[in-house]
Structure 1
Amino acid sequence: MGQAPRALQPSLSERNFFGAELRRLRERANLSQARLGTMIRFSADLVRRVETADRFPSREFAEACDKALATGGALMRLLPLLDKNRASDSRPANTSPAGVGLSSVLSDRLAETSRLAEMVARVPFQPGVLDRAALDWINAAAGPRLSVAGRPGSPDQVDEGDLHSVETALAMYRQLDHTHGAGRVHAQVQRYVEGELNRLLANSPVSETAGRRLYRLAAGFFELCGYQAVDSGAHGLAQRRYLRALRLTEAANDRLYGSYLLAVNIGHLALHCGHPEPAHRVAMTAVRGSEAQVTPAVAAALHAVVARTHARLGREGDCLTHLDIAERQLALSTVEDEPVWIRYFNAAYLADEMAHCFHDLGQPRQTQRHLGDALTVLSPTHVRRLAIDTALMASSWAVSGRIDEACATARQAVDYAAQTTSHRCLQRIVEVQVDLEPYRCEPEVRELGEYVRHRLPLAAV
């Protein structure tokens, strides 16, 4: 009996993503590794090692695979994304003990995240801009504002192959961001945006449909850039990137995605920066401006943000009303009928939003119940979310006076956070320790402080 193929983890790195794509395309063509190797004149062992991320693919290998699998150049378009990963692997191996080496690498990455935050700290978050942006969005003229001029067949025109490449890159970077946090991925994403994406945006699409798709994908990239800026503590920069994404959805005439950006991204950012009133206004604008075409999952996400704003303002009744709407809407959702960008919003994500509402309302039991629902079904690759939610659970135990549970849960959160390069994770670990400050003389709390100093020194207080 043949050995089962090794399970792949595309979210670990660019190289792992390439390997998973190769396997997916090979299996779609119903070819074995040996058969593909024969067709491309490379060994079956090399095919296996590239798929399992044990070897980098060469240009010749990728070209041959694209031809044999009739991918339209999909693998070749991924090669530039591996360049930095390849350079890093060519450096001399760390000869330190395993634990020490990991700690050193983590410290370097966290320091890089910290330097980025310091560099852009001079870009302030401006809550006063949000009402103007919401008004412009809701009054935007219908119809895409894009040009399809250009000579038909011109090599500079943006075609389906280009769009597929952008789509693949966006999916890869989103996976990597969920797993590692912004510090690990932001430089690669920024280079892609400044290079390939801006090149495509400067050229003409082959059709109006292709133009709308290009602007929608570009909005996705700027949304990701904004989220990474939040994750790096650069809130003013995040605001600028989210607003750029919002303008791109207007150019693509994508009202639904625009409402999501306005409420879920910009509204959450305003909440994060301590401005619940502007957050409420933009979220309600998004709800009203998308009523004609909203899908159940998008409606659930929008109303969840409205509920978060009411919770932050201490309006429990209004908060519960919108949470009820969100629950009922999500129950009506069918995944395949939803836009691709909202399909992540499931019962676990709604439970996460509900937990944050009840935490802000000062109801730890409800917080713990909903966090339990969220953590039970969260994907293990969403390490940053696991860290944030586990830390919030620890804070809720601390508020309840359950110090043993708080410290034990906080240790789990520290372990998750140590796997990322996320400023938000560091911030949540700091907040747990602040919540435990009244019990600082307890031995469990002192031991937790020592654990944080050893495992995640940048979060030590």
Structure 2
Amino acid sequence: MGQTPRPLEPSMSERHFFGAELRRLREQANLSQARLGAMIRYSADLVRRVETADRFPSREFVDACDKALATDGALMRLLPLLETRRNSERRPSAATPSSHVVAGSLLPVPASVSLAEMVIRVPVQPGVLDRAALSWLNNPATHSRSRTEQSNPLRNLTEERLLSAETALMMFRQMDHTHGAGRVHAQVQRYIEDELNWLLLNSSASEAAGRRLYTLATGFFELCGYQAVDTGAHGLAQRRYLRALRLTQAAADRLYGSYLLAVNIGHLALHCGYPESALGVALTAVRGSEAQATPAVRAALHAVVARAHARLGRESDCLAHLDIAEQQLDQSSPDGEPYWIHYLTPAYLADEIAHCFHDLGRPKQTQRHIRDALAALSPTHIRRLAIDTALLASSLAAAGQIDEACATAREAVDYAAKISSHRCLQRIVEVQTDLEPYRCEPEVRELGEYVRHQLPLAAV
């Protein structure tokens, strides 16, 4: 009887991601490790050790696998990421007296930096967001070639380098879902400084390649902005999102710009307590993208408008925009949507609807929709599991179901303890605040002790 393959965790590191991709492609080709090894003239044990992240693969090994599996170079495009990781691991040990490694972290953290510093709030300026929205609305995007392109058209980026960067962005997003920004953002920032900035400075003379590069760069700065929110650096998030918005204008991508304006910048304003500003930028995005918007993008924009109305207590307006969002998502087809909106499923929209009902003070409806969202979540999306489970606990507390609220809050704490995320800490604090009227109940006191033991930064 064959041995059961060891489960892989692709989000743990670049090497784990590569191993998981190799296994996926090998199994897709219906090949055993021994068969693939024979085809590429390497041992089955080496194939196994690369797949399980026990060994770094050589360039020759990767090239042979690409050819045997007919991947069109998919594995070779991951090699620059692996080589960066291998080089960093060959440097002198990071475990010096001035640093330590957080459990599960992919990078050393200076010992002089307290984890509490991660949760410091950096203020957002809503007036800046409002002006940016107005500027975007009044200045249609037009693709413009950089000075580098005009003066040095022979220094073109290669297709292989672009594909490698696109793969890196996909990998960083997956790692962010699982580990939180606190453990991943330094890697993303380093990649931007070392690789993405080089690509931007050596842009292709081809207009199509230039637009593709700007869209890729937009994705990186969008991720950086989201990670800044997740570490509590809201002012930095504002700057990152506005940089991404400018890149969509350079790419003449009105659709992506509207998404950034409503979904990223609008959510940032909501997160920082500025619902009027969130409503303004989201409605601007709706008006400014009427000709270009696809059904899924329209659904995402109207969901944010609904969130802002809910926060302002305007129930009828909220429900009207939720109805539009649901109708638009029903009309959506993946083939007709940009790749960056493919995450927007009925389950994701259920999450947005649940937050609306929570803000409107309707716990029963909140519970119904958040359970739908949780049922469809991937087990690797730890941050979302933590946040949504905490929201469910808060809605149970609002309904007076204290025992179930405390039990659910413990689950949320367990998820939050696995990840480095300021947003998760905030949600655990909010749950305890929602349970404050019942602080004399034994279950609530026990929950407080559990938080102090498992997640001390969220203790109140």
Structure 2: which amino acid aligns with 1:78? Answer: L
State whether residues 150 and 204 of structure 1, in contact with CA within 8 Å, keep that contact through their aligned partners in structure 2: no
Hey, what's the Cα distance between the residues in 2 that align with 1:429 and 1:328? Answer: 33
What are the within-5 Å matches in structure 2 for residues 173-188 of structure 1?
Answer: 173-188=172-187
Q: CA deviation at 1:33?
A: 3.1
Query: Tell me, what secondary structure is at the counterpart of 2:408?
Result: helix
Q: Distance in 1 between matches of 2:329 and 2:200?
A: 35
1:163 alignment counterpart? 162
**Aligned residues of 2:78 and 2:167 also touching (Cα < 8 A):** no
- State yes or no: 1:213 paired with 2:212: yes
The correspondence of residues 53-452 of structure 1 with structure 2, limited to 5 A, is: 53-58=53-58, 61-62=61-62, 65=65, 71=73, 73-83=76-86, 86=89, 114-118=116-120, 124-147=123-146, 148-149=149-150, 154=154, 156-452=155-451
Determine the structure 2 residue equivalent to 1:98.
none
Q: Deviations over 1:184-220 (max 9, x none)?
A: 1011001001110001001121511111010001000
Change (3 A) 1:447 1:272: same
TM-score, normalized by length of structure 2? Answer: 0.90
How many residues matched?
448
Please state how far the C-alpha of 1:54 moved relative to its aligned partner: 2.7
Q: Which amino acid aligns with 1:114?
A: A
**% of aligned pairs identical?**
72
Measured in 1, the distance between the counterparts of 2:73 and 2:260 equals 32
Q: Confirm or deny: 8 A CA contact 1:117 1:233 kept in the other structure.
A: yes
SS, match of residue 293 in structure 2: coil
Q: Does structure 2 retain, via aligned residues, the 8 Å contact 1:14–1:81?
A: no
What is aligned with 2:98? none
Shift of residue 115 of structure 1?
3.0
In structure 2, relative to structure 1, the CA distance for the partners of 1:392 and 1:162 (3 Å cut) is: same
- The alpha carbon displacement at 1:25 in A equals 4.5
After TM superposition, give the deviation of residue 313 of structure 1 in Å.
0.6
- CA RMSD, Structure 1 to Structure 2 (Å): 2.8
Residues 205-237 of structure 1, C-alpha deviations (whole Å, 9 max, x = no match): 151111101000100000000000000000000
The residue number in structure 2 matching 1:49 is: 49
Write out per-residue CA displacement over residues 332-375 of structure 1, whole angstroms, 9 at most, x where no aligned residue.
Answer: 11122211100001111111111111111111111111111111
Does the 8 Å CA contact 2:218/2:248 hold for their aligned counterparts?
A: yes
1:97: which partner in 2?
A: none
84 and 240 in structure 1: CA distance in 2 versus 1, 3 angstrom threshold: farther
Q: Is the 8 A contact 1:59 1:79 kept in 2?
A: no
Deviation at 1:23, TM superposition (A): 3.0
What is the Cα deviation at residue 77 of structure 1? 2.2
Structure 2 vs 1, CA of residues 371 and 324 (structure 1 numbering), >3 Å: closer, same or farther? same
Give me the TM-score of the superposition, normalised by structure 1: 0.90
- Amino acid corresponding to residue 56 of structure 2 in structure 1: F
The CA distance in 1 between the partners of 2:66 and 2:92, in whole Å, is 25
Which amino acid in structure 2 is aligned with residue 34 of structure 1? A
Change (3 A) 1:30 1:106: closer
Instruction: Give the gaps of 5 or more residues in structure 2.
Output: 96-101
CA distance in structure 1 between the partners assigned to 2:168 and 2:105 by the alignment? 29
Q: What CA distance in whole angstroms lies between the structure 1 residues aligned with 2:142 and 2:266? A: 25
Query: 1:105/1:249 Cα in 2 relative to 1: closer, same or farther (>3 Å)?
Result: closer
**Pairwise CA distance, 1:67:** 6.4
Distance change in 2, residues 1:248/1:226 (3 Å) = same
SS in 1 for 2:56: coil
Distance 2:3 2:195 in 1: 40
- The change in CA–CA distance for 1:391 and 1:421 in structure 2 (over 3 A counts) is same
Q: Contact 1:18 / 1:78 at 8 angstroms: preserved in 2? A: no
Which amino acid in the other structure matches residue 448 of structure 2?
G
Q: Deviations over 1:69-104 (max 9, x none)?
A: 651731322224534884699789xxxxxxxx9699
Aligned 8 A contact 1:113 1:183 in 2: no
Structure 1 residues 414-457: Cα deviation after superposition (integer angstroms, max 9, x where no partner): 01111110010011001111111111111001110111111111
**Paired letter, 1:383:** I
Q: 1:260 to 1:150 in 2, by over 3 A?
A: same
Paired with 2:331 and 2:115, the residues of 1 have a C-alpha distance of 40
The one of the two structures with greater contact order (alpha-carbon pairs below 8 A, sep at least 6) is 1
